[in-house]
Amino acid sequence: MHLFDLTGKVAVVTGGTRGIGLMMARGLLQAGASVYVSSRKPDAGEAAAAELSQFGRVASIPADVSTEAGCLRLAEEVGRSEERLHVLVNNAGATWGEPFATFPASAWDKVLDLNLKAPFFLTRAFLPLLEAAGTDDDPARVVNVGSIDGLHAPSLPTYSYSASKAGVHHLTRVLAKELGPKRITVNAVAPGPFESKMMAATLAAHGDEIAASSPLGRIGRPDDMAGVAVYLASRAGAYVTGAVIPVDGGRATTL
């Protein structure tokens, strides 16, 4: 089997209908996996599934994973069709920007519920399917999507977002220790700036400046995110767990 081949594997990508999640879903499909994409909006899910279907077997399951009940429902729905889940990508997320003096409590609740609590509750909900998929040589995989804003202090007033992503990075290490004996790896990807709905306004205003601040002189491209997803999901990444991998052109470690 090719080192990066995902033929026969099943993956779930939350927030998989746009941005980072869509990039990762496409990469997993191109490597041979079957992929379930999930988002709150059924129409967005169907549109993404139609776009991705050219690359492989893909289906959309609408779910609101900001609540534990929503996480359990998503796992139950996948479990109706699959006996095993080889790859869980916890990507669904939200941000909120507001000055320190007026930053509201609701911004903490909304962002932490989706960015930090959802990866925990989703991983727990999918645990039986992940355990069924994992082997000593080829563990099941959990990939959490963090951010370089969780590695360094951000320039924008996104207090709950950056704190939540730093929490995701450490939760990744904690779960790697917890789930390793169950033949499940847990890693995080910390993206820098990529073209996405979340980044659209920032890139429109400061895109050239942001690109120039990277040692590689550009923002991320879809293949950059697809590639790291395939690496972590494939046999190539079978001995990697508890890692936080920046995919940012060097910004987090050089700015």
List the catalytic residues. 161
Q: Estimate the crossing angle of helix 105-112 against helix 159-179, to 10 degrees.
A: 30
- Which has the closest alpha carbon to 140: 189, 179, 94, 92? 179
- Rounded distance between C-alpha atoms, residue 175 and residue 110, angstroms: 23
Look-up: residue for tokens 């990039």? 23
- Quote the CA–CA distance of 205 and 68 in Å, as a whole number: 36
CB 43 within 8 A of CB 33: no
**CB contact at 8 A, 36 and 60:** yes
At 194, list the tokens: 């990529």
Q: Which of 224, 67, 244 is nearest to 168 (CA)?
A: 244
* CA 144, chain centre distance (Å): 5
Backbone torsions φ then ψ of 93, nearest 5 degrees: -160, 170
How many residues belong to the chain?
255
d(CA 123, CA 144): 10
Q: What are residue 226's phi and psi, to 5 degrees?
A: -60, -40
CA–CA distance from 233 to each of 41, 92, 118, 227, 250 (Å)? 26, 18, 20, 10, 23
